[in-house]
Structure 1
Amino acid sequence: MPGGLGAAWEAGAGWRPAPAIRASLLVHALALGAGLASPQDWPGLAGLLLGNHALLGLGMRPRSALLGPNLTRLPPARDPATRPVALTFDDGPDPAVTPRILDLLDRHGAKASFFVLGHLAERHPALVREIRARGHSVENHTHSHPLSFGAWGPGAMRREIAQAQAAIAAAAGEAPRFFRPPAGIRSPLLDPVLWRAGLRLVTWTRRGYDTACARPERVIARLLRNLGEGDILVLHDRPGRRGTPALAVLPALLEALARRGLSAVSLRQAVPRDAAAGDA
Structure 2
Amino acid sequence: MSTPMLPSRPSAVPTPACATARRWKPAPSIYGAAAVHAGAAAALLAQPHAWPWAAGGVVASHLALTAAGLWPRSALLGPNWTRLPEHAGECIALTIDDGPDPEVTPRVLDLLDRYDARATFFCIGDLARRHPQWIEAIVARGHAVENHSQRHRHTFSLTGPRAMKREIEAAQRTLTEIAGTAPRFFRAPAGLRNPFLEPVLCDLGLHLASWTRRGFDTRAKDAGTVERRLLDGLAPRDILLVHDGHAARDARGEPLVLDVLPALLRAAAEARLPWTTLRACLDDQP
- Answer yes or no: same fold by TM over 0.5: yes
Following superposition of structure 1 onto structure 2, how do residues 236-255 of structure 1 map, counting pairs within 5 Å? 236-240=243-247, 242=249, 244-255=255-266
d(CA) in 1 for partners of 2:23, 2:105: 38
Deviates more, 1:53-62 or 1:195-204: 53-62
Match of 2:13 in 1: none
One-letter code aligned to 2:216 = Y
Match of 1:223 in 2: 230
Deviates more, 1:250-259 or 1:49-58: 49-58
Task: Kindly indicate whether the alpha-carbon contact (under 8 Å) linking 2:98 and 2:246 is maintained by their aligned counterparts in 1.
Answer: no
d(CA) in 1 for partners of 2:261, 2:214: 13
Match of 2:172 in 1: 165
1:270 counterpart (255, 258, 281): 281
Task: Kindly indicate whether the alpha-carbon contact (under 8 Å) linking 1:85 and 1:263 is maintained by their aligned counterparts in 2.
Answer: yes
Match of 1:36 in 2: 45
TM-score (normalised: structure 1): 0.89
Match of 1:257 in 2: 268
Match of 1:26 in 2: 35
Task: Kindly indicate whether the alpha-carbon contact (under 8 Å) linking 1:211 and 1:244 is maintained by their aligned counterparts in 2.
Answer: no
Q: Secondary structure at the match of 1:91?
A: strand
Match of 1:77 in 2: 87
Task: Kindly indicate whether the alpha-carbon contact (under 8 Å) linking 1:74 and 1:271 is maintained by their aligned counterparts in 2.
Answer: no
Match of 1:63 in 2: 73
Q: Over residues 139-193 of structure 1, what are the superposed CA-to-partner deviations in whole Å (9 max), with x where a residue is unaligned?
A: 0000111111112111110000001100111110111000000111121111000
One-letter code aligned to 2:48 = P
Match of 1:52 in 2: 61
One-letter code aligned to 1:96 = E
Task: Kindly indicate whether the alpha-carbon contact (under 8 Å) linking 1:128 and 1:138 is maintained by their aligned counterparts in 2.
Answer: yes
Task: Kindly indicate whether the alpha-carbon contact (under 8 Å) linking 2:22 and 2:205 is maintained by their aligned counterparts in 1.
Answer: no
Q: Secondary structure at the match of 2:172?
A: helix
d(CA) in 1 for partners of 2:272, 2:23: 42
1:104 counterpart (104, 111, 135): 111
1:128 counterpart (112, 132, 135): 135
Q: Over residues 3-30 of structure 1, what are the superposed CA-to-partner deviations in whole Å (9 max), with x where a residue is unaligned?
A: xxxxxxxxx9942211110111111122
Match of 1:200 in 2: 207
d(CA) in 2 for partners of 1:32, 1:87: 47
One-letter code aligned to 1:118 = G
Deviation at 1:271, TM superposition (A): 2.7
Q: Secondary structure at the match of 1:99?
A: helix
One-letter code aligned to 1:181 = A
Q: Over residues 106-136 of structure 1, what are the superposed CA-to-partner deviations in whole Å (9 max), with x where a residue is unaligned?
A: 0001000000000011111121011001000
Q: Secondary structure at the match of 1:77?
A: helix
Match of 1:185 in 2: 192
Deviation at 1:35, TM superposition (A): 1.8
> Could you list the runs of 5+ residues in structure 1 that have no partner in the other structure?
1-11, 276-280
Deviation at 1:252, TM superposition (A): 0.6
One-letter code aligned to 2:263 = A
One-letter code aligned to 1:103 = D
One-letter code aligned to 2:81 = L
- From the superposition, tell whether residues 273 and 35 of structure 1 become closer, same or farther in structure 2 (CA, over 3 Å): farther
Task: Kindly indicate whether the alpha-carbon contact (under 8 Å) linking 2:98 and 2:122 is maintained by their aligned counterparts in 1.
Answer: yes
Q: Secondary structure at the match of 2:242?
A: strand
2:219 counterpart (207, 212, 219): 212
Deviation at 1:66, TM superposition (A): 0.8
CA RMSD of aligned residues (A): 1.6
Task: Kindly indicate whether the alpha-carbon contact (under 8 Å) linking 1:84 and 1:270 is maintained by their aligned counterparts in 2.
Answer: no
Deviation at 1:47, TM superposition (A): 1.2
d(CA) in 1 for partners of 2:214, 2:115: 21
Q: Secondary structure at the match of 2:87?
A: coil
Percent of aligned pairs with the same residue?
50
Task: Kindly indicate whether the alpha-carbon contact (under 8 Å) linking 1:113 and 1:138 is maintained by their aligned counterparts in 2.
Answer: yes
